[in-house]
Amino acid sequence: MATKIRDIMTGSPTSVSPELDIVTVARAMRDEDIGAVLVAEGDDLMGLVTDRDLVIRGLAAGGDPKQQKIGGIASTATATVGPDDSLDKAAQIMRERAVRRLPVIEDGRPVGIVTIGDLAMEKDEVSALADISAARPNT
């Protein structure tokens, strides 16, 4: 059983510039079959954008999505974990902050992302959340 974040995290997370428009980022998420991207300038993590953010803060807000910058709708990444942190620490942070994804930071730069689904599959593989997280996406 994995005990450290590095054992379950998705490595080499997709990062985008805050200057990209939301349509470009949405297409990248579709093409890579991912539900979140990190927003960064170089190695400096600025935030996180989920597919839900694209809809709620982007499209539903109105305006031209080709002109709207992803940095304007990103959630600030206030909670992170390190690759050598425990799964329990990540679960505690997610619970306290009510977040489903945590960027993984090592030596000041993003190296991965861990999700509530990753934790569920590792800590309680017979749970409904683990089953849902392990299932192939509906496309």
> What are the tens digits of pLDDT across the range 122-138?
876 655 454 445 556 55
Residue ranges covered by each domain of the chain: 5-134
Average pLDDT, the chain: 89
Question: Which of these CATH numbers, 3.40.50.300, 3.30.200.20, 3.40.50.360, 3.10.580.10, describes 5-134?
Answer: 3.10.580.10
Type of residue found at 87: L
When pLDDT is cut at 50, 70 and 90, the band that residue 23 belongs to is very high
CA-nearest of 19, 56, 20, 17 to 39 is: 17
Angle at 65 between CA 38 and CA 79, to 5 degrees: 25
When pLDDT is cut at 50, 70 and 90, the band that residue 121 belongs to is confident
pLDDT of the residue at 127: 54
72: pLDDT strictly greater than 60: yes
Q: How many of the other CB atoms lie within 10 Å of CB of 107?
A: 7
* In the chain, % of residues over pLDDT 70: 88
The secondary structure element, H or E, covering residue 31 is helix 22-32
CA–CA separation, 57 and 26 (whole Å): 13
- Per DSSP, the residues of 52-89 read HHIIIIIGGG-S-TTTSBGGGTPEE----B-TTSBHHH
Per residue in 85-99, pLDDT tens? 999 999 999 999 999
CA–CA separation, 19 and 102 (whole Å): 22
Flag whether the pTM goes above 0.75: yes
47: pLDDT strictly greater than 60: yes
pLDDT of the residue at 138: 53
Q: How many of the other CB atoms lie within 10 Å of CB of 31?
A: 9
